[in-house]
Amino acid sequence: MDISEAPAVNSRRRGNPVSRILSSIRDGNGFDILLVAAPLVFLVLLAGLPLIYNVLMSFQQVDMFTLGAWIRPFAGFDNYISVISQPEFPLVVRNTIIFVVGSMAGQFVLGFALALFFAQNFPGAATIRGLFLVSWVMPGLVVGAIWSWILAGDFGVLNAILRSLGLIEAAIFWKSDPNFSIWAVTIANIWLGLAFNMLLLSVGLAAIPKELYEAAALDGANAWKRFLTITLPMMRPTIGAVLSLGLIGTLQQFDLFPAITEGGPANSSTVAQYWAWQMSFTLYDFARGATISVMMFVLVLFASILYVRSTRSEVRG
């Protein structure tokens, strides 16, 4: 090859996009791009495409006979109107609100109390706090099976404790009584997410400078005033993140319902996520099941936006 042709060949090699990318990865400059691209492709294939497919299905007529078809009849907003017109829709909305609000409130209040308790750094605090994480790492079906025994009306531990404290006289059938069934799953979910809230809130408490409490104590502020004027304002970004993640996690909770109540009796403990599953895999009405999922996705998206805003303000300080 003529020496005069060498610059042209090198120029062509430099101009090849694939060669530039491979050379960048080998040199280490493009390794960060590879680290971002790999999970991004994973999310697009396993989350993005199914989400788009689910949204499209909510605007189509889909049943067992058309599920495998590429082209299905267009339904417009008929599926959404049909879901809202269902007689059980108001009850499902009510149950979902009770489950979400009750779970978030219980997890946050008890988690905050435990975080403040373990922040005292007494002997054995780290060990006991670690034991609380057992509930967080347990599978939801296992937690549901445990609480199904605890909440049993005739031999359950919870009824025995309440009766020994004099709070009840007759046994409460938590799982079969329509007045208590949704609360049975809510109690189990509070226990399941308690450790996660305690852990995040403990991290937020540890980030507060101790000098602020010492200065407030010198100024004569008692513990309650220090909590209101220092702890809560400094914990505001963490609290926002915990509540947002709690909303997302609660709306995604599914395992406890088939393990404890199966949505009964008479849909008294059916929430939106379990209703979507029943529509799709019990009634085989995939279109309306997808429609309910899309409605829930809007709520999760709203919670995700709140979480991003909370973490952004936390990073800004």
Between CA 45 and CA 51, with CA 48 as vertex, the angle to 5 degrees is: 125
Q: Which band of pLDDT confidence, cut at 50, 70 and 90, is reported for residue 254? A: very high
Pairwise CA distance, residues 218 & 222, whole Å: 10
Which residues, in sequence order, are CB contacts of 314 under 8 Å at separation 6+?
237, 238, 241
3-class DSSP state for residue 218?
helix
Q: Which two tokens stand for residue 25?
A: 């990865």
Q: Which two tokens stand for residue 197?
A: 């809230």
Predicted structure pTM score:
0.84
Pairwise CA distance, residues 115 & 201, whole Å: 6
**DSSP category for residue 16:** -
Pairwise CA distance, residues 64 & 40, whole Å: 33
**DSSP category for residue 311:** H
Pairwise CA distance, residues 272 & 31, whole Å: 42
Among the ranges given (19-28, 73-82, 87-96, 271-280), the one the predictor scored with the smallest mean pLDDT: 19-28
Q: For the chain, what percent of residues have pLDDT higher than 90?
A: 42
Q: What is the pLDDT of residue 13?
A: 47
Q: What is the pLDDT of residue 259?
A: 93
3-class DSSP state for residue 60?
strand
Among the ranges given (137-141, 171-175, 264-268, 305-309), the one the predictor scored with the smallest mean pLDDT: 305-309
Q: What is the pLDDT of residue 24?
A: 64
- Span 190-210, pLDDT tens digits: 999 999 999 999 989 988 888
The residues pairing with 60 across neighbouring beta strands, listed in sequence order, are 74
Amino acid at 163: R
The CA distances from residue 10 to 3, 6, 21, 24, in Å, are 12, 6, 15, 16
Q: How many angstroms separate the most distant Cα atoms in the chain?
A: 101
| Residues 259, 141 contacting (CB under 8 angstroms) | yes
**What percent helix, strand, coil does the chain show, rounded to 5?**
75, 0, 25
Domains of the chain (ranges, CATH numbers): 3-57 (no CATH), 78-316 (1.10.3720.10)
The residues pairing with 74 across neighbouring beta strands, listed in sequence order, are 60
Q: Which two tokens stand for residue 99?
A: 């489950």
Read off the pLDDT of each residue in 235-248 and give the average, rounded to a whole number: 88
| Cβ atoms within 10 Å of 11's Cβ, excluding its own | 9
DSSP, residue by residue, 82-114: HHHHSTTHHHHHHHHHHHHHHHHHHHHHHHHHH
Q: What is the pLDDT of residue 9?
A: 46
Higher pLDDT, 271 or 218: 271
Read off the pLDDT of each residue in 41-53 and give the average, rounded to a whole number: 88
Which residues, in sequence order, are CB contacts of 154 under 8 Å at separation 6+?
171
Q: What is the pLDDT of residue 151?
A: 93
3-class DSSP state for residue 11?
helix
Which residues, in sequence order, are CB contacts of 309 under 8 Å at separation 6+?
240
Q: Where are the alpha helices (DSSP H) in 63-206?
A: 78-85, 89-118, 125-132, 134-137, 140-150, 157-164, 181-206
What phi-psi label fits residue 267: left (phi over 0), alpha (psi between -120 and 50 degrees) or beta? left
